[in-house]
Structure 1
């Protein structure tokens, strides 16, 4: 579930420059991403996640769907689901348990709400490391060394000015690689889509808050 939260987070790796080490070229690219993402009425698409060990072994690929509107989002992968209504995060395990967490309690984690605020300004250093005909490659490092990841590499589509791929390197050198696909950035999404409705889940569901 935490990996899927990072998917949304990296899509919104945006903002002004803060206390980290600054690369002017990377700032220019991310500022364009920021401006473009903020202009979208809603985003829907699909994603794939690949887990790679420190020895290069592929532990498999999973896929799911993503829906975003402002600071609200829905992530679905198989039977599991995460709904954020901008106040609470509802995490359904795919069986019979929903865990409810207030958004403010995620302030120390890599979450969409944090990366849409000053969290990004203060907690990352970054640098543009490669440019091709189709994308920019930017590496980001958390300034807080207590984080459980050591580096995030994002790939920004030059034509769309949006992050479509990212690699997250953890402290044990394992990598989570994901891609965003089939993005519709002009989706008309009702706010009701982000309302947690208990009746849509198994009758014996347990809600933990």
Structure 2
């Protein structure tokens, strides 16, 4: 075997080993990421109810838009009470009630479970179960907590998201934050500030009581 041919053979051999190793590492990263996300989903579904406070920020460099808001959620199964941007939304399992104190107006509509783009608090904590390619990302220390990030790439080429990063508390398996970067350059960050589980909620916590809003205009869509 000529010297040049031998060198080329070695180069191809090394290159092949590199790509095989890279492929195996990528598979291992995907498996670890999926396992961690499955652990998060299982943990969430195991609680009787969840109450958390959050901060939401949105920025779009193309329009010089920067917004930041805080809110809170209490949820039990699919039912929830969400307070965000001055609006209270209640879902009792059948109907959705949007209460706007500033306008003294309430909108009532039926819940359509077939509407896939309907965002609910439970989906916010479990949406990542399917439809994405997964990989492990950086590990950060946040105030003494180990936050492991998992990177999600949408499988659907028409998805507006370019990538999503989910920060997970490695010890509790709770979500710390979520960062979504869209193809248009906009960025959304959702951070959970406090997270409580199995709280003593009243039996009417997710019930809309019309008598509490005597002067409100009620718009019934269904």
- Secondary structure of the residue aligned to 1:192 is coil
RCO (CA 8 Å, sep 6+): is it higher in 1 or 2? Answer: 1
Q: Are the counterparts in 2 of residues 50 and 58 from structure 1 also a CA contact under 8 Å?
A: no
Larger Rg: 2
1:170 aligns with 2:182: yes
Matches of 1:73 and 1:63, distance apart in 2? 17
Tell me which residue corresponds to 2:166.
Answer: 154
Note the alpha carbon deviations across 1:183-203, whole angstroms, 9 max, x for none: 111212234211222223343
Question: CA 1:99/1:155 → structure 2, altered by over 3 Å: closer, same or farther?
Answer: same
Task: Report how far residue 106 of structure 1 moved.
Answer: 2.4
Aligned residues: 187
Alpha-carbon displacement from aligned partner over 1:24-73 (angstroms, at most 9, x marks no partner): 11122112212211221211121111112236967132111111111211
Question: Counterpart of 2:17?
Answer: none
Shift of 1:108: 4.1
Match runs of 1:80-159 below 5 Å: 80-94=87-101, 95=103, 96-112=105-121, 121-133=129-141, 134-159=146-171
Shift of 1:142: 2.5
TM-score between the two structures when normalised by the length of structure 2: 0.71
Q: Which moved more, 1:34-43 or 1:186-195?
A: 186-195
| Structure 2 spans left out of the alignment, 5+ residues | 1-28
Question: C-alpha distance in 2, partners of 1:135/1:50?
Answer: 19
Q: Which runs of 4+ in 1 moved over 6 A?
A: none
For residues 134-162 of structure 1, give each alpha carbon's deviation from its aligned partner in whole angstroms, at most 9, with x where no partner exists. 11101222322333333221100122211
CA RMSD of aligned residues (A): 2.8
* Equivalence for 1:25: 32
